[in-house]
Structure 1
Amino acid sequence: MTRVHAELAAPGTCGAGYNTLRFDDEVTRYSFYRNFFDPYAREWQGGNSRWDLIDVVRAAYALRPEGIVWPEQDGRVTLKLERLTAANGIDHGQAHDALSDVRATIALARLIREKQPRLYDYLFTLRTKQKVQEHIHLMKPLVHISGRFSAARSYLGVVLPLAWHPHNRNALIVCDLHLDHSPLLQCDAETLKQRLYTRLDALKEGELPVPLKLLHINRCPVIAPLGVLRSEDQQRLKLDMAGYQARAAQLSESLEVWQDKLQVLYGKDDFVASEDP
């Protein structure tokens, strides 16, 4: 781990991978901690950063798909690394072999940078939370790309930043404007809290999901102003921009109805100490 840490902690290093942010990076943090290295410093000290190419690929697919072949599986796009490399003539060697995957990821990044350089350069700036914050204005809709949005939606959502998380300064509470926002206006806070963590297939008949999501500014989120959506993109993605704007306007006009509910939804739960020895 000493050699790994030396490489990743070198000043100016950006540690990047494919779908690494929520797994590989966590393993790296734990490994550094177990070996008495600061688990986080290599991600920000000395001009360092981290980046996940899977969200770059999702953004290219949703916003600027031209110039790249997008493979399908069972009638839907698949963004598996081995399928993307095969479809685009990239040598992948043996898929899931660590070194082969690294080389394939680099080649795929180069392809996106070649075909969509402006998008690539813009997304590269979102490695730091300071740059991400520059694009965020409460109650002003944004385009957000995330794996939380389905492939059927091209991983894209038009979201409305509602408020900063009351206890996590790196988390922004946003409303997914693709979904019915009426639960925020009609349900009490406890009902919302219960429903927020209920799977869609477990909701009772007639119950609408809570259209809220946390956007973490320190996890290289893909966000962009609405202007990134060209008219042809709106048609291709079947976006109801007028409907999204109408929902945003209604939420903006009813702040007093839902603001306090967010404090209950995302407030700290009371901790009850166990008396079991």
Structure 2
Amino acid sequence: MKIIYAVWELVPEILEWPLGDNGRTSFKLDRLVYANGFVAHKAHDTLGDVEATIHMAGIICDRAPTIWKKCVCNRDKRIVSSILKSGQPVQLIERFGADTPRSFTGVYAGTNLQNRNVLGFLDLEACKAEEIVDAADDILADAVTTSPKIIRTIYTNKVPNIFLNAKKIQFMLLKQKSFHHDRTFMNGWGGRYPIGL
């Protein structure tokens, strides 16, 4: 349930957050449901997992209806695409490996021409945006392929946690059209991105 990551980042107070064996917050369903009042769950039991998921969904829907509605809307890839392509800064919430979920603020940075469900997301906190907008092709390619990524990939058909950003960001480049607007560059996995800033 990716929605759990959005809850952690936006409204953590609505849930109890259990600790794992390593002493860090656990996002495993069996621990989360137990900490949040569903004690009959048997881990890895298909029906039990469904019941546990319904229990957690009910809590989130009741206690954070706005987040719930936004996450439900993100099941529609057209809505995700329109949010990202709105021209406004958006918030992406993801979890990598065993780290806790975190929020990234960014803007649309192009569409993979080989797979229209893959959009680029320019992380505004990881770069100076004015240096990326008119950057050379090799710099743009590095922004997609090197770690940490400056341009991340978002799969619109994989229910990403993406929201119009409530933070007020002064990003004047959104109002400008770069002469590189229609230029494309090769990214690390063989697709091509038209730069969408």
| TM norm structure 2 | 0.76
How far 1:251 sits from its partner (Å)? 7.2
8 A Cα contact 2:77 2:159, kept in partner: yes
Provide the residue aligned with 1:158 in structure 2. Answer: 105
Deviations 1:26-49 (A, max 9, x none): xxxxxxxxxxxxxxxxxxxxxxxx
How far 1:156 sits from its partner (Å)? 1.5
Aligned length: 189
Partners of 1:121 and 1:193 lie apart in 2 by 35
Provide the residue aligned with 1:100 in structure 2. Answer: 48
Partners of 1:195 and 1:177 lie apart in 2 by 12
Partners of 1:186 and 1:134 lie apart in 2 by 24
| 1:135 is the counterpart of 2:57 | no
One-letter amino acid matched to 1:104: A
How far 1:109 sits from its partner (Å)? 1.0
Q: SS of the residue aligned with 1:96? A: coil
8 A Cα contact 1:138 1:162, kept in partner: no
Q: Which of 214, 219, 223 is matched with 2:158 structurally?
A: 219
How far 1:58 sits from its partner (Å)? 0.8
Provide the residue aligned with 1:40 in structure 2. Answer: none
Map 1:47-58 → 2, pairs under 5 A: 54-58=1-5
How far 1:119 sits from its partner (Å)? 1.7
Deviations 1:140-196 (A, max 9, x none): 2101122349845x3311121122223322221111122124773697434553574
- The change in CA–CA distance for 1:226 and 1:94 in structure 2 (over 3 A counts) is same
Partners of 2:109 and 2:149 lie apart in 1 by 14
Partners of 1:135 and 1:250 lie apart in 2 by 18
Higher helix share: 1
| TM norm structure 1 | 0.57
Partners of 1:121 and 1:163 lie apart in 2 by 26
Deviations 1:78-116 (A, max 9, x none): 211112112112124321222222221111111111211
Partners of 1:195 and 1:225 lie apart in 2 by 23
Partners of 2:10 and 2:165 lie apart in 1 by 11
8 A Cα contact 1:60 1:119, kept in partner: yes
63-72 vs 249-258, which moves further: 249-258
Q: In angstroms, what is the RMSD of aligned CA positions?
A: 3.2
Structure 1: runs of 5 or more not aligned: 1-53, 201-208, 230-240, 270-277
8 A Cα contact 2:76 2:157, kept in partner: yes
* Higher RCO structure (Cα 8 Å, ≥6 apart): 2
Provide the residue aligned with 1:263 in structure 2. Answer: 185
Map 1:1-277 → 2, pairs under 5 A: 54-73=1-20, 74=22, 76-148=24-96, 151-152=99-100, 154-181=101-128, 184=132, 188-190=136-138, 192-193=140-141, 196-198=144-146, 200=147, 209-227=148-166, 245=169, 248-250=171-173, 255-256=178-179, 260=183, 262-265=184-187, 268=190
Structure 2: runs of 5 or more not aligned: 192-197
Partners of 1:266 and 1:120 lie apart in 2 by 34
One-letter amino acid matched to 2:103: L
- The change in CA–CA distance for 1:163 and 1:138 in structure 2 (over 3 A counts) is farther
Q: Specify the structure having the higher radius of gyration (Cα).
A: 1
One-letter amino acid matched to 2:185: Q
How far 1:256 sits from its partner (Å)? 3.6
